[in-house]
Structure 1
Amino acid sequence: MNQRPPRENRNAHRKNHQEEEEEECPRVSLPSCPAADDAGEDARRPLPALLVPSLWLYVLVLLAALAMPCRALCPNNCTCDDKALAVRCEASNIDVLPFTFNPALQQLSMYGTEIHTLDTHSLLWYPDLLHVKPKTFEMQVHLEELHLAQNNISELEADMFIGLSKLIVLSLRGNSIESLDGGVFIQLKQLKDLDLSENRIERLDNQALAGLSNLRVLHLRDNRLTEIPAQNLALVPDLAELSLGGNEFTEIKDTDFEAMRTLKDLDLSGTELNEGLSRNSLQGLSLLSKLNLEDCRLTHVPTEALSHLSKLEELHIGRNLFTTLPPDAFKENRRLHSLFVSGCLHLLHVEKDVLGHNMNIREVVITQNPSLTYIAQDAFRFLPELSVLDLHGNNLQQISEQAASWKDIAHWSLDGNPIKCNCSAAWLRQLTKAPNSSESVKCASPPHLAGKSLHSVELSDLACGMDPATQGLGHRLRGRGGGFDHCSHDNFQGYIMTPHKPVPVTEL
């Protein structure tokens, strides 16, 4: 009986054959030497006739593999694409950073590893690699993106970035970095996008961002900063996007943003500013077009602070503590085209002419405000560019027909409000039949109509003309052809308009 080759030889042959197909550097696994007790017996055994050709074939394959040009080493749990010049390493027990990849690499992503510290020494060796040259970052001269998010990195040194002269994007989001020393990014002359969010950063040396003259995007949100790093922001004067939300500072000084003349997008959401936003806190942001002030514990709309933002186009101001949106709240923001006010637990009223000076407004989203029961007449009327009015998920039992130019708005929504389906909702019923309306507006009361779509409710169910004040109203609403246009606004104002302060729904 012929003896099969040892298992180690078969596995090594299979492994080398697979690595040859993947164009990776081969790893050779040699069979261990026999024990001394068995050496004599094994030596006396003749080699089976069928085994000799297999051994010669194995040697030829091995020599061919060793002769192949070695372009890169790809560790376990990493995917190396030499065509796309990209490497991605998934969650693993890698605890040092291997950089013996293709020297022409352009994108590198590493997520969920056990890396704790990045310095020049940690880049020199990884136990599974066969060969690592010193200063291996110098080989990555073409690298443009480096993603090291969601690891456990706690320290950074300037020398670790030597060789990355063409790096454009660097993400260190979700690590354990507590501080940044001066000049730590000095090697990254071409860097444009730096993400340091979701770390534990408490301190930035005043020169931490030195050398980043081309930086355009900086994410520092969800750290532990107790003040805005104004001196570092002055080092990156061409910044276009900045996120500082979720930090621990409680005020914005008048000079904090004075160097941010080119900033267009500012995210301050999740900071407890409360009264820390003064009239001049946002001065210097003359080109700002997008501002996020959500969840800042603001007790009133900061109209004065916003007055410096003449170019503001998009404002997010939800999840705050104010109780009303007052008239002319955004009077100096003439270019405003999108307003988002959602999740304000204490918001009760939206007053008349809240957007009286905002003729360019196109999108208004005021949603999920559980205490909002009143929207005044003319709150959103006479706005010629308004195409989206989303009022879903509030606590509106009725709303005035004069609150907005409903028929001229391409998309509007009142879904999820507890609409009281009485005669005051007759105009709304008719509106739900228009092409731009939603048929999902539902009645919350009276009980016999609860849950029904207002679109499907008969006009007679709205009890128009059932009391002396509305005698004949049902006939006028129906008209000859059942249309709503026959109803005169002048004769029945009490049933097509909302009272001025707050809606007395219990009396309707």
Structure 2
Amino acid sequence: MSPYSLELRVTSIYAVLQVWRRPDVHPPRLRDKGLPRSEFETEIGSVSTMASLRRHRRSGRGEEQCRAANSRLPQCTQSDITHEANQQWSSHTRRSTLQLQDDLSHHHPPLQKDPALHHPPLHHCPASNTTSRPFRLLLKWPQTLLPPLAFCLLLAASLPATCAAICPRNCTCDDEALVVRCMPSSIDVMPVTFNPNIQQLTMYSTEISTLDVISFRFYEDLRHVNLSKNRITEVAPKTFENQRDLEELHLAHNNIKQLTADMFLGLSKLIVLSLQGNAIMSLDGGIFQHLRQLRELDLSENHIEKLENQALQGLTYLRVLHLQSNKLKSIPASNLALVPDLAELSLGSNKFTEIKENDFLSMGTLKDLDLSGSMLEDGLSLESFKSLSGLGKLNLEDCGLTSVPSIPLSSLGQLEELHIGRNLFTTLPTNMFRNNRNLHSLYVSFCPQLQRLEKNVLQHNLNIKKVVITNNPQLAYIAPDALRFLPELKVLDLQNNNLHQISEDAASWTDIEHWRLDGNPITCNCSAAWLRTLMMAPNSSGKVVCGSPPGLEGIPLQSLQMKELACGLDPTMQGVVIGLVVCVLVVVIAAVVLVMLYRHHNSCVHRLLKGHHLGSRQGRCDTPYTHSYHQAYTMTPTKPVPVTEL
């Protein structure tokens, strides 16, 4: 129902009173506030019947027409109305009616009386049997009392419908929880007919384009307002001046281009302010000075190119600041110094290309830093994060890094969670995080050129609990002991890589509570037998599907029998291999025999090899074998020399 329904009803009643008093003058044209025709007819239908009856009576039409018109009137709900009671409140009613007519005269000026017009005498119309007794009494009252009485009765009759119209179409109004939620609709102004005590208001995807001082004037108890995804282009000064208890204000995804300090006047208790996804180009100094209790400020996805000096002045208690997806060409170090208690900072997807030594000089309390989407290929040095000694979480995804930034990260001794996915390095080297001994979570995903994990990648990170290395299309090799000897490792996720084989020694698989290898083209041969056995253990999750050989593609590894893991050889290849093995054995045995026969000098084989012909008389094997020696090798005995001759 339109927010102007109440005004329309009161105006309609006033128009009927004019017709009652002056039947020859048509009622003033009612202001159409964009209501559908059926709804507009419903609004004025309750009063048109009475106007028609009065015209019948004034024009002196027949009794039958009068009764027909009279039968269409709604029955009065009061049990009895007496002339004595009317005398007591008629004067008060007349004053109230005149006051209301005066209030309505700003939009619908009352008709001026024309002295030339002559009112015909009143012709009484006999009441039908269907007419209630109170209404018959009403018809007998003097004409001077009818307008105020009719106005009060009509207003009372319209109250139930008016109460139903308080909540506009496509809205849900919970008066017990004091919550209003409006779905997408054509509402173009902030309704003023909600319960004035509501504490939570949510309206999105409407036609509202402007917020002014009237928008929330009647809702002083609001705690939470969400006006995201509308068409708001302007927020007038002092719009929220009366919302002293408002704690959350969401104006995300509108078209607000400029912020002023007076826009937030009165929001002394505001904790969360979201202006994400607007068209803000700059932040002037002191625009947040009235938000003394603000804890979270979201200015992401705007067009902010710079922050003027003192832009963040007054945000002493700010803990969360989102500035990602803007056009900042440098880190606003001077403004960050104004928020010394900042714990979470998002600066990703901006245009700066380096981080200087003093950019985070005053950010000793920072725990979470998001730089994802910033082109920092050559912009990180040993001094970049030196001031962030207490940093616990760092996001360097999609920063164009061609190698793991081990040196810049060496100053982050308290780092616990690191995201380095979507970069361009090809290898995770040995001991790449040797100085980050408190690291407990590592995320390396969607790296298009990552190919290898070297041995002992996390050798010094004994506190590591979770490793996620997923969706790397070229990662095909994980070295033995790459992720082994990590006593605290509980989650190992290696999904959707290009692993055809993985070593049993790559990790301490039996000690890991949850591990996953889904989405890898594992070769199901004898080298995967250990993996099949491991998948039967209760700590395995997901399933491994065979990527090869061709006969086993798409089959879950755990569903195969051990005899089917034949190292990738089909029966034909197995026969060829067995035949080759037999041939090799035969050749080896024959060679051994020949060598042994050759060494036997009296054998026929030996003689044959020496050139003797077995077919001749001298060459027979049964002829005794004789051998002549050269004369030089023959010793001739000599005569002994007498002793006397010596």
The alignment partner of 2:515 has SS state of: strand
Residue 165 of structure 1 deviates from its aligned partner by: 1.1
1:58 maps to what in 2? 154
Match of 2:419 in 1: 316
2:528: which partner in 1? 425
Matched, 1:282 2:385: yes
The structure in which a higher percent of residues are helix is 2
The match for 1:116 among 224, 233, 236 is 233
Identity %: 55
Q: Partner letter of residue 210 of structure 1?
A: Q
Q: 1:90 to 1:233 in 2, by over 3 A?
A: same
**2:153 partner SS:** helix
Report what 2:210 is aligned to: 96
- Cα-to-partner distance string for 1:296-349 (whole Å, 9 max, x where unaligned): 111111011111111111111100000011111111111111111110000000
For 1:230 and 1:349, locate their aligned partners in 2 and report how far apart those are by CA, in whole Å.
38
SS at 1:424 equivalent: helix
Moved over 3 A (4+): 3-10, 12-15, 26-37, 39-56, 59-66, 74-84, 464-468
Aligned-pair CA distance for 1:422: 1.3
* Structure 2 counterparts to residues 199-348 of structure 1, below 5 A: 199-348=302-451
Task: Indicate the residue corresponding to 1:447 in structure 2.
Answer: 550
Distance (Å, rounded) in 1 between the aligned partners of 2:265 and 2:158: 37
Amino acid at match of 1:423: C
Change in Cα spacing, 1:14 to 1:353, as seen in structure 2 (3 Å) is farther
Q: 1:378 to 1:31 in 2, by over 3 A?
A: same
CA distance in 2, matches of 1:376, 1:247: 37
Query: What is the Cα deviation at residue 62 of structure 1?
Result: 7.4
Contact 1:433–1:439 under 8 Å retained in 2: no
- What secondary structure does 2:241 align onto? helix
Instruction: Call closer, same or farther: CA 1:461–1:91 in 2, change over 3 Å.
Output: same
CA distance in 1, matches of 2:416, 2:253: 33
Deviation at 1:102, TM superposition (A): 1.6
1:91, distance to aligned residue in structure 2 (A): 2.0
Secondary structure, aligned partner of 2:425:
coil
Q: What displacement does 1:117 show?
A: 2.8
Report whether the alignment pairs 1:187 with 2:290.
yes
The answer to whether structure 1 residue 87 and structure 2 residue 210 are counterparts is no
CA contact (8 A) 1:378 1:403 kept: yes
Could you tell me which runs of 5 or more consecutive residues in structure 2 were left unpaired when the two chains were aligned. Answer: 1-15, 21-26, 28-38, 48-99, 139-148, 164-174, 181-188, 579-646
Q: Deviations over 1:166-210 (max 9, x none)?
A: 111111111000000111111111111000001000011021001
Paired with 1:401 and 1:352, the residues of 2 have a C-alpha distance of 13
Q: Deviations over 1:264-314 (max 9, x none)?
A: 011111111111111211111111111111111111110111111111111
Report the Cα offset of residue 162 of structure 1.
Answer: 1.5
List runs of 5+ in structure 1 lacking aligned partners.
Answer: 16-25, 121-134, 472-508
Q: Match for residue 372 of structure 1?
A: 475
- The one-letter code of the counterpart of 2:235 is L
After TM superposition, the score normalised by the length of structure 1 is 0.78
Q: What does residue 395 of structure 1 align with?
A: 498
- How many angstroms apart in 1 are the aligned matches of 2:412 and 2:119? 88
Task: Identify the structure with bigger relative contact order (alpha carbons < 8 Å, sequence gap 6+).
Answer: 1
Question: Matched residue pairs, number?
Answer: 438
Where 1:242 maps in the other structure, the secondary structure is strand
Question: AA paired with 1:217?
Answer: V
CA contact (8 A) 1:270 1:296 kept: yes
Contact 2:437 2:463 in 1 (8 A): yes
- Asked if 1:198 is matched to 2:332, the reply is no
Question: 2:288 and 2:551 mapped to 1: Cα distance?
Answer: 68
- In structure 2, the partner of 1:438 is 541
| 1:411 CA displacement | 0.5
Query: Residues 197 and 219 of structure 2 are in contact (CA less than 8 Å); yes or no, is this contact kept in structure 1?
Result: no
Are the counterparts in 1 of residues 197 and 220 from structure 2 also a CA contact under 8 Å?
Answer: no
Q: CA RMSD in A?
A: 3.7
Q: Per the alignment, do residues 12 and 345 of structure 1 end up closer, same or farther by CA in structure 2, a change over 3 Å counting?
A: same
Per the alignment, do residues 13 and 186 of structure 1 end up closer, same or farther by CA in structure 2, a change over 3 Å counting? farther
Selected match of 1:456 from 559, 573, 597: 559
Q: Which of 33, 43, 53 is equivalent to 1:11?
A: 43
Q: 1:359 aligns with which of 452, 462, 472?
A: 462
TM-score by length of 2: 0.62
State the shift of 1:83 in Å.
5.8
Compare CA radii of gyration and give the structure with the larger one.
2
The separation in 2 between residues aligned to 1:108 and 1:161, in whole angstroms, is 13
